[in-house]
């Protein structure tokens, strides 16, 4: 079933691409290309107990392009160059992050291929500092930021929209070889222009014998205007990593005060928990606060302090100072 699904998706995307290209007029081929180049880097230093952890890091680099086939149809392709887990952080890897057709049909938007997932895109918009720290669900592995599949979003009006995703469920770093699939449904409501409310639910089937279907429930509320932003979210994953009875849940609160168009002060508080403390070494609190400076159009700098407070009392509270930077076209 999986091979047929992937083959059908590939054929449909190719036919759509070539069919639409025949009718393209106006811009030259090169004018319809936009480059994608994004680099995350930092200098960090641990304080007190973490004093031995310091240095420069190149955390991530996205390379790719976006091609406008027509005004309503486009293709995006990008690779993600990052680093292995900390025990092997002298190594680098490269993955195909995006390879997707994006099609607008009136109030509906369709994405197909290696697509951006919908679980925490709204939260990422409000947090707006992915180069510094991932949004809550991404940071603590509730789900992947990209996957192979199809997503559909529909705007009922200016206030209410819904989105559905149907994907492999293993993210962009793994080749799907089993029978599990992911289904996600989200509803976003904006009662006023500055306020956004969202609820999202997801089922991720276990692909091997004995694996449970993991379930995610996420709630979000955020307010943003020209002076400040404030947001809060709650997420819970039932049967985390397809293991029965192992739930992970938590909250994140974050906000910014915009001093002017170039400067802002920000802060964030995370609390991660597991039922019955089965994930005790990961449970705890994290606090981040700092200053962001926009240097022109393409560069942002963020000096910030971070504190990790573990739930296990025998573990030390860790303090860090960071200088994060993003360059993005």
17: confidence class by pLDDT, cuts 50, 70, 90: very low
pLDDT at 175: 63
Encoding tokens for residue 188?
């976003």
- pLDDT of the residue at 8: 44
pLDDT of residue 36: 95
252, β-bridge pairs: 233, 270
Residues 154, 157, 163: CA angle, nearest 5 degrees? 25
Per-residue model confidence (pLDDT) at position 6: 47
Contact 32, 70 (CB under 8 A): no
The answer to whether the beta carbons of residues 213 and 206 sit under 8 Å apart is yes
Rg (alpha carbons) of the chain, rounded to whole number: 21
Residue 19, pLDDT > 50, answer no
More reliable by pLDDT, 17 or 172: 172
Task: Report residue 21's pLDDT band, with 50, 70 and 90 as the boundaries.
Answer: very low
Q: What is the DSSP letter of 213?
A: P
pLDDT band, very low/low/confident/very high, at 15 (cuts 50, 70, 90):
very low
Mean of pLDDT over the chain: 88
Q: With the C-alpha atoms ordered 209, 115, 2, 93, is the resulting torsion angle positive or negative?
A: negative
CB atoms within 10 A of CB 223: 15
Q: Is the pLDDT of residue 50 over 50?
A: yes
d(CA 181, CA 178): 9
* SS percent in the chain: helix, strand, coil, step 5: 15, 55, 30
- Phi and psi at 91, nearest 5°, equal -105, 160
Q: How confident is the model at residue 46 (pLDDT cuts 50, 70, 90)?
A: very high
Whether the predicted pLDDT of 284 surpasses 70: yes
Residue 4 backbone dihedrals phi, psi, to 5 degrees: -65, -40
9 or 133: which carries more pLDDT confidence?
A: 133
Q: What does the block give as tokens for 99? A: 């390879």
pLDDT of 88 strictly over 80: no
The confidence score (pLDDT) of residue 64 equals 96
Write the pLDDT tens digit of every residue in 251-270: 999 999 999 999 999 999 99
User: Highest-confidence range of 84-93, 141-150, 305-314, by mean pLDDT?
Assistant: 141-150
Three-state DSSP state, 140: coil
Yes or no: say if 208 and 202 are a contact pair by the CB < 8 Å rule: no
Nearest to 42 by CA among 296, 285, 316, 288: 288
Q: Which residues contact 271 (CB under 8 A, 6 or more apart)?
A: 250, 251, 252, 284, 285
- Which tens digits make up the pLDDT trace of 155-202? 999 999 999 999 998 888 776 666 789 999 999 999 999 999 999 999
Residue of 48, 119, 70 lying closest to 308 (CA atoms): 48
Matching residue, tokens 């996205």: 62
CA distance linking residue 290 with residue 272, whole number of Å: 21
70-84 pLDDT, tens digit per residue, is 989 999 999 998 875
């Amino acid at each position: 079933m999986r091979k047929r699904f992937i083959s059908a998706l590939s054929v449909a995307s190719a036919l759509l691409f070539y069919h639409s290209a025949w009718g393209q007029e106006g811009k030259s081929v090169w004018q319809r290309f936009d480059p994608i180049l994004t680099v995350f880097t930092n200098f960090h230093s641990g304080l007190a107990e973490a004093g031995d952890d310091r240095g420069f890091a190149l955390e991530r680099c996205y390379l790719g392009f976006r091609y406008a086939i027509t005004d309503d149809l486009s293709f995006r392709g990008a690779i993600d160059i990052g680093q292995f887990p900390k025990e092997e952080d002298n190594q680098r890897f490269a993955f195909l992050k995006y390879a997707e057709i994006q099609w607008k049909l009136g109030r509906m938007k369709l994405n197909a291929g290696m697509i951006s997932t919908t679980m925490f895109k709204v939260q990422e918009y409000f947090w707006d500092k992915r180069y510094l720290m991932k949004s809550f669900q991404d940071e603590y592995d509730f789900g992947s930021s990209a996957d192979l599949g199809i997503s559909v979003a529909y705007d009922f009006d200016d206030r209410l929209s819904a989105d559905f995703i149907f994907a492999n469920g293993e993210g962009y770093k793994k080749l799907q070889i089993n029978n599990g699939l992911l289904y996600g449904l989200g509803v976003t409501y904006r009662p006023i222009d500055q306020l956004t409310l969202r609820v999202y639910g997801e089922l991720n089937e276990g692909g091997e014998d004995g694996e449970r279907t993991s379930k995610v429930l996420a709630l979000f509320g955020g307010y943003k205007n020209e002076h400040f932003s404030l947001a809060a979210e709650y997420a819970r994953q039932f049967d985390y990593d397809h293991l029965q009875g192992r739930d992970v849940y938590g909250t994140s609160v974050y906000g910014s005060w915009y001093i002017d168009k170039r400067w802002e002060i920000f802060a964030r508080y995370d609390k991660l928990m597991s039922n019955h403390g089965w994930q005790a070494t990961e449970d705890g609190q994290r606090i981040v606060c700092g200053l962001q400076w926009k240097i022109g159009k393409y560069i942002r700098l963020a000096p910030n302090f971070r504190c990790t407070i573990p739930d296990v009392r025998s573990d030390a509270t860790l303090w860090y100072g960071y200088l994060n930077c993003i360059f993005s076209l």
